[in-house]
Amino acid sequence: MSNSDLSDGDSSSNSDKIQKRVWFLAWPVILSNCSIPLLGMVDAAVVGHMDSPIYLGGVALGALIFDFVYWAVGFLRMGTTGFVAQAFGRRDVDEIKAILIQAVQLALGIALVLWLFAWPIEKFAFFVLQAQTEVEDQARFYYWARILGAPVVLFNYVVMGTLMGMQKPMLTLVLQVLTNGLNIVLDLIFVWGFEWGVEGVAYATVLAQVCSAGLGWWLMEKHCLPDLSLAQLKQKVSGVSWAQMVRVNSHLFVRTTLLMGALAYFTAMGAHMGTAILAANAILMNLQYLLSFALDGFAHAAESLVGEGFGKKDLRHVDQTIKWVMIFSGLVAAAFTVLYAAAYPLFIQMMTSLPEVMEVATRHGFWVIISPLICVWCYGLDGVFIGATQTRAMLWSMVFSAFLYFGLATWATEHWQNHGLWAALMVFYILRLVSLGAFVPKLRQRVLA
């Protein structure tokens, strides 16, 4: 056998292994994501059957605040995954422990800041959102109950990031499903059993998160990191430099804030065009979020495997990961396009019975049909760059894309109304793909640096 034959065989074998590992890491995340909308449905159901709609409105408003607050600090999960994945590639267990301890210390520090600024956050949030007084009163009950859980929420982000970085997808699945399942049971007990109303929904969430934190730490100690103890959180450790950890997480924070701003701008522009368009866009965006649940699995696989390749300084490993993440993501996106083309009117009917909203949503359904094939690629690249901890590129890509999008959305909406707004959103995804893709050659160079 010639050397070239041997090389081709090794390359083929490596490609097959990466293909299987991408799928192995992705499907548990996809499955666990399915429990997220179920939890939201139960939250809505338990208060939706109370004697006034103000309770449902209060939960929706309060939950929206925490969606923004906790999404903004989601960098803790992403940054931890990237650092841990690279240490995992080097098979350095001591470094993984040190990174975990550093990340938990950072998480608790941020939680303390959220506690200290809880009152200004509440005042600002309700100033921006503005709802009926009765709804705001219920939302405030929800807010003050949920803010108590900030330390365990951020702690759980670090635990999930560590498990993903160490390529333990089944443990993340078990943790997510058990947590959401417990949350559902506590919802029913606290709201229907104890009649605690909106506060019952909030306390159910907090208690479930506390249990998740304890279970997550036990799973890591049992299956991933022996000799791990809470006492180590008081130690000074050296996993990665604090400057590097803060730099990576700050890049991710600004990038995520800009992304949230772009999506909020989309909602606000729709609201200016009337209630029917606002409601129709919300329905179509729910279909977009359903797609993201599936694609998240492959993005997380990219984070873990690209990080491992960087840790091992294995360029072929990184290249094969990018290849298979993009192939699998593209296939899933194509399947969603076919599904939406065939059944999006049915999805709309399931989510609303208001004729005006149905008419607007159906008229704009074209955008949700083509969106999977447009947005899929930047989702996968996000996972690649997180695993490589090349977050400066992610930051500048988002700055470029978001500010062009703000201008384009304003102009396009004036000329083509809601179709212009949706077209601008599609261009936003394309800009993210092009600008982030331009950094891929530099990312590949740094694998061997």
Q: Running along the chain, 449 residues long, what does each successive block of 10 average in pLDDT?
A: 43 84 92 70 69 76 82 92 96 91 93 96 85 84 91 94 94 90 91 87 92 93 82 68 91 94 89 86 84 89 96 96 96 95 88 84 93 94 96 97 97 95 97 97 92
Q: Read off the amino acid at residue 188.
A: L
Cα-based torsion angle of the residue sequence 363, 419, 334, 441 in order, rounded to the nearest 10 degrees:
-170
Q: Residue 273: inside a domain, yes or no?
A: yes
In 315-390, which ranges are continuous DSSP H helix? 315-351, 355-363, 365-387
Q: Which of residues 202, 222, 240 is at a domain's end?
A: 240
CB atoms within 10 A of CB 15: 15
Q: Are residues 406 and 328 part of one domain?
A: yes
Q: Residue 253: inside a domain, yes or no?
A: yes
| Distance from C-alpha of 261 to C-alpha of 271, rounded to nearest angstrom | 15
Q: Are residues 317 and 219 part of one domain?
A: no
In 224-241, which ranges are continuous DSSP H helix? none
Which of 380, 253, 238, 309 is CA-nearest to residue 86? 309
Do 190 and 200 contact (CB within 8 A), yes or no?
A: yes
Do 333 and 372 contact (CB within 8 A), yes or no?
A: yes
Which of 401, 288, 389 is CA-nearest to residue 336? 288
Domain count, the chain: 2
DSSP state of 240: S
Q: Are residues 202 and 77 part of one domain?
A: yes
Q: Are residues 370 and 276 part of one domain?
A: yes
DSSP state of 419: H
Q: Residue 278: inside a domain, yes or no?
A: yes
Do 245 and 106 contact (CB within 8 A), yes or no?
A: yes
Q: pTM of the prediction?
A: 0.90
Do 296 and 33 contact (CB within 8 A), yes or no?
A: yes
Q: Are residues 388 and 248 part of one domain?
A: yes
| Distance from C-alpha of 328 to C-alpha of 14, rounded to nearest angstrom | 17
- Helix axis angle for 365-387 and 275-312, nearest 10°, is 30
Do 25 and 305 contact (CB within 8 A), yes or no?
A: yes
Q: Residue 293: inside a domain, yes or no?
A: yes
CB atoms within 10 A of CB 136: 19
Backbone φ and ψ for 21, nearest 5 degrees, come out as -70, -35
Length of the chain: 449
Q: Are residues 330 and 198 part of one domain?
A: no
| Distance from C-alpha of 424 to C-alpha of 276, rounded to nearest angstrom | 20
Q: Residue 8: inside a domain, yes or no?
A: no
Range of the domain at 370: 242-449
Which pLDDT belongs to residue 118? Answer: 95
Q: Are residues 421 and 278 part of one domain?
A: yes
Q: Residue 9: inside a domain, yes or no?
A: no
Q: Are residues 112 and 217 part of one domain?
A: yes
Which pLDDT belongs to residue 322? Answer: 97
Do 315 and 250 contact (CB within 8 A), yes or no?
A: no
Per-residue CA distances from 30 to 75, 86, 256, 287 (Å): 20, 23, 21, 15
Q: Are residues 215 and 74 part of one domain?
A: yes
Residue 397 buriedness (CB in 10 A; 0-12 / 13-18 / 19+): buried
Q: Residue 4: inside a domain, yes or no?
A: no
Q: Residue 22: inside a domain, yes or no?
A: no
- Helix axis angle for 75-89 and 242-272, nearest 10°, is 140
| Distance from C-alpha of 324 to C-alpha of 363, rounded to nearest angstrom | 35
Which pLDDT belongs to residue 56? Answer: 75
Using the structure block, give the residue that is written with the tokens 């929206």.
64
**Separation of first and last alpha carbons in the chain:** 33
Which pLDDT belongs to residue 268? Answer: 86
Q: Read off the amino acid at residue 324.
A: W
Q: Which of residues 221, 240, 259 is at a domain's end?
A: 240
CB atoms within 10 A of CB 152: 23
Q: Are residues 440 and 384 part of one domain?
A: yes
Which of 39, 43, 38 is CA-nearest to residue 201? 43
Which of 150, 166, 148 is CA-nearest to residue 96? 166
Which pLDDT belongs to residue 7? Answer: 43
Q: Are residues 340 and 352 part of one domain?
A: yes
Per-residue CA distances from 429 to 128, 277, 327, 414 (Å): 27, 21, 18, 21
Q: Which two tokens stand for residue 425?
A: 């959103």
Q: Are residues 255 and 214 part of one domain?
A: no
